Amino acid sequence: MTSRALTVGFDLDMTLIDSRPGIRAAYQALSAETGTYIDADLAVTRLGPPLEQELRNWFPEERIQAMGDRYREIYPTYAIAPTLAMPGAREAVAAVRARGGRAIVVTAKHEPNAKLHLAHLGIEADAVIGWLWAEAKAQALREHEASVYVGDHTGDVRGARTAGALSVAVATGPCDAAELRAAGADVVLGGLTEFAGWLDAYAAAGPV
């Protein structure tokens, strides 16, 4: 019996990319444009959940949709150039490809902006699926038959577990290793620099 092809899903913000400088700049621009105070330094410490969840800390409910639309509109101008790849990100994707696998990105971010980040940084994904958070990520993971999902947030752990995928967590975002383990992560790595070595060991243990 042949094993199915390896597909690994990756989260984006604080997993593959350090988007804090860019997101900070986008929030500062939105704050200046609207005259509404936004603590951008605080906002970038809690990346992961959908944008609207953060905007509710600064705007009344009736303005959330408009502010979300405007933020996404100005985002490419302010957030793409300052954003860097996380250490080990390119190598992690390459490790999946080296095993004949597929690397997909499943993120809560606005999908067009997610694709802009990856193109700017030269990180090639086999598919990019946006607008999915926490348990909803399972929809894309199942559709693409991902057996592993890598993320930095407890919401990513929940998404992996809902999909029946192995949850590999990296402690590079707002959730520390203890939180990720408590949420049910199967594996916790310090960062993506450890991923290729882990994948080698995982593959050696059985068919992927």
| Sequential pLDDT tens for the chain (208 residues) | 335 689 999 999 999 999 999 999 999 999 999 999 999 999 999 999 999 999 999 999 999 999 999 999 999 999 999 999 999 999 999 999 999 999 999 999 999 999 999 999 999 999 999 999 999 999 999 999 999 999 999 999 999 999 999 999 999 999 999 999 999 999 999 999 999 999 999 998 876 5
For the record, the structure tokens of 193 come out as 């620099």
First vs last C-alpha separation in the chain: 12
pLDDT at 49: 96
Q: Which amino acid is at 111?
A: E
DSSP state of 57: T
Is 139 in contact with 132 (CB distance < 8 Å)?
yes
Is 161 in contact with 167 (CB distance < 8 Å)?
yes
Distance separating alpha carbons of residues 135 and 79, to the nearest angstrom: 27
Find the DSSP H helices in the chain. Answer: 20-34, 40-43, 51-55, 64-79, 89-98, 111-121, 137-143, 154-163, 177-182, 195-204
Distance of CA 62 to the CA centre of its chain: 28
Q: Are strands 102-106 and 127-129 parallel, antiparallel or unpaired?
A: parallel
For the record, the structure tokens of 165 come out as 């995928």
pLDDT at 2: 39
Q: Which amino acid is at 120?
A: H
